[in-house]
Amino acid sequence: MSSGEQFSAPSLKRETCVDLAVIGGGFTGCSAALEAARAGASVALFEAESIGYGGSGRNVGLVNAGLWLPPEVLIAQLGHEGGLRLIKALAKAPDITFELIDREAIDCEAQRKGTLHLAHSPNGLSDLEDRHRQGVALGAPLRLLDATETAQRTGSHAFFGSLHDPRAGTIQPLAYVRGLARAAQSAGAVLHERSPVSKIVFEKETWALVVGDYKVKARHLLVATNAYHLGISDPFRPQFVPVQYCQYATAPLPEPLGTAILPGREGCWDTALVMSSLRRDLAGRLIIGGIGNSDRPGGKLHAAWAARKLAALFPSLSRQEFTHGWSGRIAMTRDHVPKIVAFGPRAMACFGYSGRGIGPGTVFGRGCALALLSENHDSLPVKPLESYDERFTAARALWYEFGASLVHTTSARL
């Protein structure tokens, strides 16, 4: 599928010295590079592959106004002050993202039509009622929709109701990250693709990076590699459980077939434990996703599940084939809260969005850049940690894949 924005940058071909070095060309790294360059710093960003190669170019495209966790759980985990600080920062994330898209004229199919969190069962509806109560208590403009209105908005009778969030919207994620990269470059940041960082050392009060055959010196350093972290274990390696999520896209739905399906173009995900997502793109494709790795030998079962799911949700699409399929890796933390780790002098890593990285990546990236340059951490969305550890990550990753495979094999209808 084509992305409106194109971007390319040369690999690093000389030694360089900058105020801020950023490792990773996803939402976090590109947002950081853009903000730092706009603040007048000299910035170099190094991407091992191409901009958007990681989760940023592979995701569903839902620009949410929060994390998976309901507010009361976040407050219980982070404390009253810490929880509210993160909730407020992320409530503004769609405003920040869509304003950035407008300001930088990023051609990324931005549709601010809200999202629908869909109740897949009566229990799912109770969960949404509780989320609605919690969100409204904090001033979120959420609306609980009954099964009839949900059916009108989705074109499917499979749901028991839904929670509408008008602050949210959808984008074409690869185009968005390329647009951020282009904007960062225009603001003066120097970006390098196919430039993997293989070594990081703190020497003589400066960060020294090895990038291909060249050495880079930087006063400040941001590691923004999230679930696609590659090759560096010292002085820092992000810890997370890698969870795969796959998606399948139809060809643009012909009319009148597509007329009734998500006519309002909300982005959707459901309340199931092994969740799934739905989005229509600007060309009219329907994109359906679920947990699981479509690239594995056993990945065909996820494609077969997606076809059955499509037919069950929308019987008129039972013959519709998928033209595209892909997978991406999510960095899940045990409490599902993103982490900022200040792992050395004037150095941070930012990771663990647990499947919510468009708005949060944009907000955390710019926040980390400004905190690093000002050497003041007070305005960050979460308090930076000195270190962060996750245990049994490989076993837990297998558990997610096994669970998704089991559900996708056994769910005959949905």
Ligand X SMILES: Cc1cc2nc3c(=O)[nH]c(=O)nc-3n(C[C@H](O)[C@H](O)[C@H](O)COP(=O)(O)OP(=O)(O)OC[C@H]3O[C@@H](n4cnc5c(N)ncnc54)[C@H](O)[C@@H]3O)c2cc1C
Q: Whose CA is closest to 191, among 1, 15, 356, 34?
A: 34
The SS3 of residue 278 is strand
Among 226, 293, 320, 333, binds ligand X (CB under 6 A): 226
Binding to ligand X by CB under 6 A, coded x per residue (else -) over 343-372, reads ----------x-xxxxx-x-----------
Question: Which stretch of DSSP H or E encloses residue 186?
Answer: helix 173-186
Among 156, 225, 320, 333, binds ligand X (CB under 6 A): 225
Distance CA 142, CA 163 (A): 7
Using the rule CB under 6 A, is 10 a contact of ligand X?
Answer: no
Residue type at position 244: Q
Using the rule CB under 6 A, is 67 a contact of ligand X?
Answer: no
Contact 162, 116 (CB under 8 A): yes
Q: Whose CA is closest to 330, among 286, 382, 291, 275?
A: 291
Contact 56, 174 (CB under 8 A): yes
Q: How many residues of this chain bind ligand X (CB under 6 A)?
A: 43
Using the rule CB under 6 A, is 330 a contact of ligand X?
Answer: yes
Distance CA 386, CA 408 (A): 39
Distance CA 367, CA 370 (A): 5
Q: Which is nearer to ligand X, 133 or 353 (CB)?
A: 353
Residue closest to ligand X (Cβ): 357
Binding to ligand X by CB under 6 A, coded x per residue (else -) over 290-329, reads --------------------------------------xx
Q: Whose CA is closest to 225, among 188, 196, 247?
A: 196
Q: Which is nearer to ligand X, 81 or 295 (CB)?
A: 295
Reading the block at residue 14, the tokens are 């000389």
Q: Which is nearer to ligand X, 52 or 135 (CB)?
A: 52
Q: Give φ, ψ of 272 to 5 degrees.
A: -65, 150
Q: Which is nearer to ligand X, 214 or 316 (CB)?
A: 214
Q: How far is the CB of 293 from ligand X (least distance, A)?
A: 10
Question: Which stretch of DSSP H or E encloses residue 250?
Answer: strand 241-250
Using the rule CB under 6 A, is 47 a contact of ligand X?
Answer: yes
Residue type at position 341: V
Q: Whose CA is closest to 223, among 343, 328, 332?
A: 343
Q: Which is nearer to ligand X, 148 or 323 (CB)?
A: 323
Stretch that binds ligand X, among 48-56, 77-85, 214-222, 402-410 (CB under 6 A): 48-56
Using the rule CB under 6 A, is 24 a contact of ligand X?
Answer: yes
Among 61, 94, 169, 292, binds ligand X (CB under 6 A): 61
Q: CA angle, corner 277, sides to 275 and 283, nearest 5?
A: 170
Binding to ligand X by CB under 6 A, coded x per residue (else -) over 374-393, reads --------------------
Contact 222, 21 (CB under 8 A): yes
Binding to ligand X by CB under 6 A, coded x per residue (else -) over 175-214, reads ---------------------xx-----------------
Among 12, 37, 60, 144, binds ligand X (CB under 6 A): 60
Q: Which is nearer to ligand X, 207 or 353 (CB)?
A: 353
Distance CA 93, CA 28 (A): 13
* Residues between 227 and 286 that touch ligand X (CB under 6 A): 227-232, 245
Reading the block at residue 116, the tokens are 């629908």
Contacting residues toward ligand X, per CB under 6 A: 23-29, 46-49, 53-56, 58-62, 64, 196-197, 224-232, 245, 328-330, 353, 355-359, 361
